[in-house]
Amino acid sequence: MRHFQGRTVVAATFGANPTIMKPRSASVLLSLFIGAATAFAQMASTEVLRVWNIKAVMPTGITLDVKAFDKAGKQYDVKALENGDTHVMDVKAINGTIQLPIKVIVGDDAFMPVKAIAADGTLLDVKALDMDGNRLDLKGVAQAGSLFHIKALGPDRALYGVKAISTTGQMRDIKGVKANADEVEAEVNGVKVLAHVKALPHATDGDSDPIWNVKCVQPDGHVLGIKAVDKAGNLYDVKAFLTNGNTTVLDIKALIGDDKVSVKVLVSADKNAPVKAIGADGTIYDIKAIAADGSKLDVKGVSRSGNVYNIKAIGANGDLMAVKAISPHGLFYDVKGVKFSADDKEMDLNGVAVRAHVKALPQVE
């Protein structure tokens, strides 16, 4: 259990967005007994919700609170919510049991507005509070590929970084993230959204290599190639691509002919979620790790933690082996399936139901 604003917080593991709940209290002995038994059973299916603080960081190292404000001036805390994995954490405005998504909103301004969205579509301002209580705008100030850099706007055009900070001092970057090339990423409660606001690992790539290799890492440290496979058994390279300076979220693509074909986790009733490449005409290509003897090993989404699917190559003996993007300079990123919505189906791509987007992300502890 974790105490948050005077209440005990538990996060259910089902769904992409954790829910804050108050545990029930028993008033009689029988209710206590039943409640204890129920709580024991639920422990196996719940994870403790870890709350990260959101702060703007000044050049002096001083941190400023970030809050959301409705039109009546009511104040909401802004937090990142860890639900088992810290690669991609939701950022929410929270007041009591109310959680509101925070998004980069479609607009005509030079800097993109960052807002919380209420259930009725009302927009709440998201601001950093300086030392004198002045409210500083949070904006998407620049785009790098599928990423928006979010900053607090200080005096004299100063730009302050916005970070999620854990109680033990770990840090994540607050970014706007897009999963598709359309201007409107999604509509949330009737509001057109440009990008999802998430807490992401800090980029560790300083070399900006444009193309990374995608490999399965065996227990002995040696690697196997990851390939897309068509129905005739032909093999195609799978690579990670750094786009427009975005070194945080790399796109995973299969190179089929002259096309870069998206790789996704598909909607399925299978225990392990299929990972496939999807052609422009809806053709589905298997994604496999190629063993030394030429045998093909499945690559699957084997488990989910929060917004992230853990993607593994499955050995002949059932062993689960990590899948990584490896830069020409030897840097390793994790290859994961990433969800941005609470729905089982994230989107349709060329007629194929997609559950999660496959991306390469900086490694986390």
* Model pLDDT, residue 180: 87
Residues in the chain: 365
49: pLDDT confidence band, cut at 50, 70 and 90? Answer: confident
Q: Quick one: pLDDT band at residue 168, thresholds 50, 70, 90?
A: confident
pLDDT above 70 as % of the chain: 87
Using pLDDT thresholds of 50, 70 and 90, give the confidence band for residue 41. Answer: very low
pLDDT at 137 over 90: yes
Cα 137 to Cα 135: distance, rounded to the nearest angstrom: 7
What is the structure's pLDDT at 44? 35
pLDDT tens digits, residue range 266-276? 999 999 999 99
Which of 39-48, 156-165, 231-240, 350-359 shows the lowest mean pLDDT across its residues? Answer: 39-48
pLDDT at 335 over 50: yes
* Predicted pLDDT of residue 220: 87
Reported confidence tier of residue 48, pLDDT bands at 50, 70, 90:
low
Q: Which of 140, 161, 144 is nearest to 64 (CA)?
A: 161
**Residue 14 binned pLDDT confidence (cut-offs 50, 70, 90):** very low
Single-letter amino acid code for the residue at 255 = L
Whether the pLDDT of residue 6 is over 70: the answer is no
The per-residue pLDDT of the chain, averaged, comes to 87
What's the average model confidence in pLDDT over 343-363? Answer: 97
pLDDT per position as a tens digit, 124-133: 999 999 999 9
Give residue 17's pLDDT: 38
The 10s digit of each residue's pLDDT in 340-350 is 998 999 999 99
pLDDT > 50? residue 27? no
**CA gap 312, 222 in Å, rounded:** 15
Residue 141: which of 100, 113, 120 has the closest Cα? 113
Burial track 217-248 (b if 16+ CB lie within 10 A, e otherwise): bbeeeebbebbbbbeeeeebebbbbbeeebbb
Q: Of residues 365 and 71, which shows the higher confidence score?
A: 71
10 pLDDT above the threshold of 50: no
29 torsion bin: left (phi>0), alpha (psi -120 to 50), beta (else)? alpha
Six-digit token string for 122: 């009302």
User: 51 CB contacts (<8 Å, ≥6 apart)?
Assistant: 2, 4, 9, 79, 80, 81, 82
pLDDT at 18 over 60: no
Residue-wise pLDDT tens digits, 88-126: 999 999 988 899 999 999 999 899 999 999 999 999 999
Instruction: Flag whether pLDDT at 46 surpasses 60.
Output: no
Q: How far apart are CA 67 and CA 293, in angstroms?
A: 57
Residue 31 pLDDT > 90: no
Residue 37's pLDDT band (boundaries 50, 70, 90)? very low
Please tell me the distance from the alpha carbon of residue 149 to that of residue 160, in angstroms, as a whole number. 11
